[in-house]
Amino acid sequence: MLVLDVFQAGQIGVLKNELHEIGIRINARPPDITIKKTSQGGLGITSTCKLTRLSEATIRAILNVYGINQGNVVIREDISDDELIDIVAGNRRYVPAIVVLNKIDLVNREYLEEAETRIGEDFIPISADRNVNINRLKEAVYDRLNFVRIYLKPRNGNADFEEPLIVTSGSTISDVCAKIRKKFGNEPKYALVSGPSVRFRAQRVGMDHVIQTKTL
């Protein structure tokens, strides 16, 4: 979370620059580039789209700086030199982020609108002191982290809708079992699942079935 004081909303640029300088890329994904090094032969560069921001000579020069002189490079999007450097450097982190504007209880609507123009992007206005919009912030964090709620149902019992198991989107039945108990992960052979990931209620699925949401 990038937390801003309502009286210093313009500091959003400073925060972003500092994160960028230490290798953190917020609300971004790694460029779609594959680099396979080889011990012999030259350097083959293939692009599946038109590159408008980089020439092949520049690509080779950047790769040479990082000691990549042999191998195959496949570029699947129109990247910049900075994006290519991020990939070959190999020490960048791509993380989701939320901008939070605190202390909104201390300003009026006009001031808040002015602060919004300085931030220049979506943000969540809150007051930590007055507990304003805190639940909205919690939901935003949950959504941005791409979590899924799994409601477990014991055999011959009712589903527990009070305390769901939280897993990341894309998790399989095997992942869910391992999260319940590590040694439990390889024991089951199937599960009965209800929800949007299956066609009917209590459908029998294998361990590689990907859970979407709702009831397990």
- Enumerate domains of the chain plus CATH numbers: 2-23+96-144 (no CATH), 31-91 (no CATH), 147-215 (3.10.20.30)
Residue 216: predicted pLDDT:
42
Amino acid sitting at position 207: M
Q: Encoding tokens for residue 8?
A: 């210093």
CA neighbor of 170 nearest in space, from 211, 142, 123, 205: 211
Indicate whether 27 pLDDT > 60: yes
User: Residue 24: in which H helix or E strand, if any?
Assistant: strand 24-26
Distances (CA, A) of 32 to 48, 49, 56, 199: 11, 11, 17, 33
Q: Are 147 and 167 in contact (CB under 8 A)?
A: yes
197-205: long-range contacts (C-beta < 8 A, 24 or more apart)? 205/173
Residue type, 79: I
Please name the amino acid found at residue 139.
E
Token pair for 187: 């024991």
* pLDDT band (50, 70, 90) for residue 184: low
3-state secondary structure of 37: strand
Q: Where are the beta strands (DSSP E) in 48-193?
A: 71-75, 93-95, 99-102, 124-125, 147-151, 165-168, 191-193
- Which uninterrupted H or E stretch holds 204? strand 203-205
CB atoms < 10 A from the CB of 184, how many? 13
Q: What is the pLDDT of residues 35-82, one digit of tens each?
A: 999 988 899 999 999 999 999 999 999 999 999 999 999 999 999 999
* Residue 202 DSSP label: T
pLDDT of residue 85 exceeding 90, the answer is yes
Given strand 33-37, what is the order of strands in its sheet? 33-37, 71-75, 43-47
Question: What pLDDT is recorded for position 186?
Answer: 62
**pTM, to two decimals:** 0.73
Does pLDDT of 215 surpass 80?
no
